[in-house]
Amino acid sequence: MTTAAARPDLIAHFPFPFVDDIYRYSTNVEPAGAQVSTPAGQWGDSAVVVDSEYHAELAERAAILDADPTRRAVLPHMRPAAWDAMLTILRELAQAYPETMHLTSLGGDEWRWRNDLLGEERTFRYGDESSLGDDPLHYISTQVQEDIALLDQRDGQLFVDAGIITFAADWSFGFDVGMSFLEIHGPVPRVRKMGVITRAHEFLKRLQPHEPYRRTNWTMTIGRRLDVSTERYPEWGPDREMIQHVDDAEFGRLVHLRVEVQHLIRLPDSGAVMFLIRTYLLPLEAVATVDPWRARAAEVFAELPDDMADYKGIIKYRTRAAQWLRSYEALHSPIAEPQIDTGTAPTEPVHGLPDWPSRPAEVDAAGSEFLIVAVGPHDETAHVARAWVRVAESVGPTRLLVLDSLTHDDDRALLDEALTATHTGARILVTGGQYDVLTALGAARSAGAIADELSAFVTDTADLPVYCAHCRDTFRAVGAPGGIVECPGCTRRLEIHEHHSASRGSFLASAVDARTLEELS
């Protein structure tokens, strides 16, 4: 864990996120580029910001990417968007920092880039990776402190199909690549009921080039940790227990208010939507030196509903954080022991989780051919498959594939072979237990099938495919979201999250809790 006294520029340009004493989820978007004045200084006049942490954060990103290549992904159809993103960001840098950043057009597709802070100069041809000596998304990540996500818009939805995310706040970019915007935000409490994510999704789809917007998001982090990704939970998870037992001075030094400034930009050439995500960390001891910030943050932390505090991972120490801030000017007054809220938040529907029909779907007569996949020994599986076959055969060419289990390599190979043999316009219908159905649907999507071509009926929901965020093994487990399983790959005890990737066909899981992790370490 790293800690350091906050430099003056980090306080002066900190994007304090709270505009009221009560915080609730909202789209909270506004046009980008307008400077925001704060009691400590100002922020917001540029989509990319270079500060005193520039060299340190670039070095940290390089180390993370070397250790974990899954933080970087560009699906093949997103290569034009990666070039578009690189040139857009280089232009922004040159405009914001003309004394140290220089972008020169040499005519046609030729460009020269010079970064005096890094002592680097490079000439490249737009679209030609050999001239750049790197893929464009990786290269631009060596020039800016912001994380980058690129969203492709198709079929009325946005999909996170490219990006470099090294400073994630308790999520897994490697797991989420290829998922839709709505699926990724499914686990966030309240947002579906309140309609926040749906409104944000519609707003993003309407973004226009050269009209960027921005928003802020926040949580708290123990220590100056930029990378608190799901993959590294074993390293930072125990801090949530540890922080409850330190003295007051250490508490104020270690607990950081973590703010993301997210710029939302429609790229002009590719039409992709770019998220620039800049993370700022400020310890409570520095927040408290700005009295309006101290008072407002204390109110927000104290009032925050339990389900939101739990999702943000701060429920074990947010009460103490509020009390610490309130008593900052009266250090002689004892700070109350941390309170752990034990109330149960109401259950709400989660977007993106499988929603299985209560009866088999009808065969789509618009299909040009049909592949019907029946997996497992259940009588109901066989009954559903036979009923589908009877109808499908009256419409067009039909193939029935009967498999024992998709945990078997030979059965998986037969499925892949059958999927490869299907043609455009085919309809793929899958029935069986939940694990096999999800696995088969994921394989079908990987083979190029789209949602309208897929139907499924689950006969047993006892098991499901689980993706371990730590060793990246995907395995079959008996359980449900919220349950605990053991990973056969790394032997960690994992909690299954309410976070399902349709493209992977699996549920995300990570080490169960900080107390268990302390015992394992």
For residue 393, what are its two tokens?
């055969």
For residue 431, what are its two tokens?
């029935």
What are the distances in angstroms from CA 155 to CA 444, 450, 505? 18, 10, 20
Q: Report the Cα–Cα distance between both ends of the chain, in Å, rounded.
A: 15
- 434-446 and 409-421 helices, crossing angle to 10°: 40
User: By the 8 A CB rule, do 113 and 121 touch?
Assistant: yes
User: By the 8 A CB rule, do 78 and 152 touch?
Assistant: yes
For residue 227, what are its two tokens?
């990378």
For residue 167, what are its two tokens?
């400073």
User: By the 8 A CB rule, do 284 and 255 touch?
Assistant: yes
Question: How many helices and strands in the chain, by DSSP H and E?
Answer: 20, 21
User: By the 8 A CB rule, do 190 and 307 touch?
Assistant: yes
Other Cβ atoms less than 10 A from the Cβ of 51: the count is 14
Query: How far apart are alpha carbons 497 and 150 in whole angstroms?
Result: 24
Positions marked catalytic: 215
Q: Is 467 exposed, middle or buried (0-12, 13-18, 19+ CB in 10 A)?
A: buried
Q: Order of strands across the sheet with 463-468? A: 474-478, 463-468, 506-511, 493-501, 484-486
Other Cβ atoms less than 10 A from the Cβ of 201: the count is 17
The CA-based diameter of the chain, rounded to the nearest angstrom, is: 83
Residue 429's DSSP bridge partners are 372, 455
